[in-house]
Homo-oligomer: A and B are copies of this chain.
Amino acid sequence: MKATAVKSKQRRGAPAAKPRSKAALEPVRDAERTRQAILAAAEVEFADKGLAGARVDAIAEQSGANKQMLYYYFGSKENLYVAVLERAYGAMRQTERELDLLALDPLDAIRKLVEFKFDYLHEHPSLIRLLAVENVHNARYLKRSRHLRDMHNSLVTVLQAVLAAGQARGQVKPGIDPLQLYISLAGLSYFFFANAATLSTAFGRDLVSDSELKRRRAHVVEMVLDHIRVR
């Protein structure tokens, strides 16, 4: 409260001499920057506390924006949550698109996809949490967002093409359901990261150390390849 008050006074004290301030954190009237700051803060908060547990005040404070701005831009806490989901999923999807799996040798493509999933989840821990949050809500909000609906779909389509190519070359077993494979491939990495904390505690083994991560990554790749490769 106090901090905000001070800030606003500073701003009001020097509105004419604006060139003086280009520091990254200066709260200038920049709609898009404010929006993004709110989204970033919200992602952290929602990932950390869930939808019900997240606090609008906390998001506002973290983002450096006024609480009212949050409503100005997103209308409600729930809408903000959906916006966060869309942004996080949209980013992942965009990255996936750039993989260009069809240009690779089929087995290499599969390997690359598995490794990508693993690495992406590792690098985006809040995504894990957001998905857990959605699971708690039975994916109510994911379903509502048509923007996200087709997300998985495209990847499965690619997977199907890759498998077909692999089968044509005699590298891949016939009869593999690309959807099952996709689910397994995602699950092997997701479950690991989602439960890394618990599992590390339970087994007294730091599963997110560099060496353990490498081991897990190799295991996941091998498991998938063991399943699809012809013997």
**Chain A residues with a Cβ under 8 A of chain B:** 49-53, 128-129, 131-139, 142-143, 149-153, 156, 177, 179-180, 183-184, 186-188, 190-192, 194-195, 197-199, 201-203, 205, 215-216, 219-220, 222-223, 226-227, 231
Contacts and interface: CB of A to CB of B under 8 A. Distances in A.
Count of identical protomers in the assembly: 4
Contact of A50 (B53, B183, B219): B53
A191 B152 CA distance: 14
Nearest to A138: B197
Given A177-B219, A227-B226, A139 B183 contact: no
B151 A202 contact: yes
A180 B227 contact: no
A135 B180 CA distance: 24
B179 A188 contact: no
A216 B179 CA distance: 10
A135 B194 contact: yes
A4 B132 CA distance: 35
Contact of A203 (B132, B153, B198, B227): B153
Interface centre among A134, A150, A215 (most CB of B within 10 A): A134
Contacts of A184: 188, 191, 219-220, 223
Contacts of A227: 222-223, 226-227
Contact of A186 (B136, B156, B191, B226): B191
Nearest to A176: B219
A92 B132 CA distance: 21
A40 to B, nearest CB: 19
> 3 closest Cβ contacts across the A-B interface?
A187-B191, A52-B53, A139-B198
Nearest to A52: B53
A149 B50 contact: no
B52 A219 contact: no
Given A53-B50, A227-B227, A128 B135 contact: yes
Contacts of A138: 197
Nearest to A224: B223
A106 to B, nearest CB: 17
Given A153-B202, A191-B191, 10 more contacts: A134-B198, A138-B197, A139-B195, A143-B198, A149-B202, A152-B199, A153-B203, A223-B227, A227-B227, A231-B231
